[in-house]
Amino acid sequence: MGRGRAALLTGVVMLTGGAGAKAAPPMVTVIPKPVSVELGRGAFAAGAKTTLTVSPVTSETRRIAAELADALGGRIGPAGPVALELGGPARLGDEGYDLTVTSAGIRLVARTPAGLFHGVQTLRQLLPAGGPGRIPAVTIRDYPRFAWRGAMLDVARHFFSVRDVRRFIDAIAFYKVNRLHLHLSDDQGWRIAIDSWPRLATHGGSTAVGGGKGGYYTQRQYSAIVAYARSRYVEIVPEIDMPGHVHAALSSYPKLACDGKPSPLYTGIDVGFSSLCVGKEATYAFVDDVVGELAALTPGPWFHIGGDEAAATKTADYVRFVSRVQQIVERHGKRMIGWEEIGRAKLAAGTLVQHWNVDLAKTELSRRAVEQGAMVIMSPAAKAYLDMKYDPSTKLGLRWAGYTSVLDSYTWDPGRQVAGVGSRDVLGVEAPLWSETVRTIAEVEYLAFPRLMGIAEIGWSPARGRNWSEYRLRLAAQGPRLEALGVNFYRAPEVPWR
């Protein structure tokens, strides 16, 4: 299978079919697949003497250039064969880049630092796994199909340290994922310090599923995550789940429950049994304080209010609650996001709704949100839920939405999930990782990789030109890269791993 050339240039594979199949041209192994790729002749050999220039020089563009210098084994200098430039054409949009590699040099052009950053990730994937070396001569034009390419980490069922989250951010940014949604509260744990309601974290954060010790982020730690994510062009989207999934908050402040009765913390994995008391004013003072503090710590424009599986809240109460909370979120300068159930309420235009349910009878909720002017983030559970088991032999994970193979998670289109919700209504895709069964970041990675890479590609690459038989070869070539990065992953049997 073209081993000769692949051995020379690790960023390239020959995509020939089985015996008798027509030879296809060689293809770079980059994920997500760029919009257009033309391979040239030869390669650029990067080494210790390679110098990079960057223009204009700002602390931000220098930081991006320094990352590339590090990957190439070179350094930033006043002149040299590798050039990073802002000021690209409008067609590149907010995140696109043009990349030209010849045997003489590299030119990377974008309109924004984010575009330069994405181009650097492409270059990292064109280098040999784990070290400097030769980059194939290539011309790439690239920009995303969707603005929102997200991952979600449930830090409530099990808690993950700042270090773990940073590590996850590094891995997702390598595949041009640009949102990290943090599910910060649930029945089993409250994971963010709120100064005006301190027991949420100190009591509500003190355990986890299975009864472990839990944990929470101080506001300073949360800000450090936000800043680190920004430096990788990943925007943090905070979620406080309400009016259901709130047992940890009710146990911390019993007055938020309708019966006002104290209750012990919960460490099981049931859903749908807790509710804030929609009729009490204290509830809205609480929501206002929590949204206010967290919004002030979050530079991104969104605030996710959850809103899923509120089985312990009457429908009329739910609808009333969501419209009041929507006003609170707006007052704190954010745009509201909710799981698809918020489609039952009256929504302001510009709201985002996150589609997740596999139950076809309920998909009309996302459509109802769209009819009110909302846009959709697509996270269909049977395709995009990273906590579903791969197959019957997978030990971690759940299976309520079915087994989700690497093939399943790659072969779907965000514009064809819900009747009445087309590509135009879709802002992008997101892959949630619920953590009932995962306790360590290595376990998170095992479920996320490689499925998240396919979802990143669905979010970034044009639908035309994507197909599994070609993707699996590019994916196989990413194995050594994930190893070099120290990212744990599942060696799915349907992929011919190198």
Residues that bind ligand TNX (CB under 6 A): 271, 308-309, 339, 356, 385, 387, 398, 434, 436
Nearer to ligand TNX, 298 or 354 (CB): 354
How many C-beta neighbours within 10 Å does residue 203 have? 17
**Rounded distance between C-alpha atoms, residue 272 and residue 187, angstroms:** 9
Helix (DSSP H) and strand (DSSP E) numbers for the chain: 15, 19
Nearer to ligand TNX, 140 or 336 (CB): 336
Nearer to ligand TNX, 66 or 269 (CB): 269
CB of 315 to ligand TNX, least distance (A): 17
User: If we measure between CA atoms, which residue out of 454, 390, 478, 431 comes closest to residue 124?
Assistant: 478
CB of 322 to ligand TNX, least distance (A): 14
CB of 359 to ligand TNX, least distance (A): 11
User: If we measure between CA atoms, which residue out of 474, 429, 435, 472 comes closest to residue 452?
Assistant: 429
User: If we measure between CA atoms, which residue out of 199, 198, 211 comes closest to residue 159?
Assistant: 211
b/e per residue, 37-54, with b = 16+ CB within 10 A? Answer: bebeeebbebeeebebbb
**Rounded to the nearest 5°, which phi and psi values hold at 360?**
-60, -30
CB of 492 to ligand TNX, least distance (A): 20
CB of 307 to ligand TNX, least distance (A): 8
Where are the extended beta strands (E) located within 331-415?
Answer: 335-339, 352-355, 375-378
Please tell me which residue in 309, 330, 364, 483 is annotated as part of the active site. 309
CB of 433 to ligand TNX, least distance (A): 9
Largest CA distance in the chain: 73
Nearer to ligand TNX, 190 or 385 (CB): 385
Active site residue 364: no
Cis previous bond, 26, omega within 30: no
Nearer to ligand TNX, 224 or 398 (CB): 398
Nearer to ligand TNX, 39 or 398 (CB): 398
Where are the extended beta strands (E) located within 29-155?
Answer: 36-45, 51-55, 75-76, 82-86, 97-101, 106-110, 134-142, 148-154
User: If we measure between CA atoms, which residue out of 305, 324, 327 comes closest to residue 316?
Assistant: 324
Catalytic residues: 309
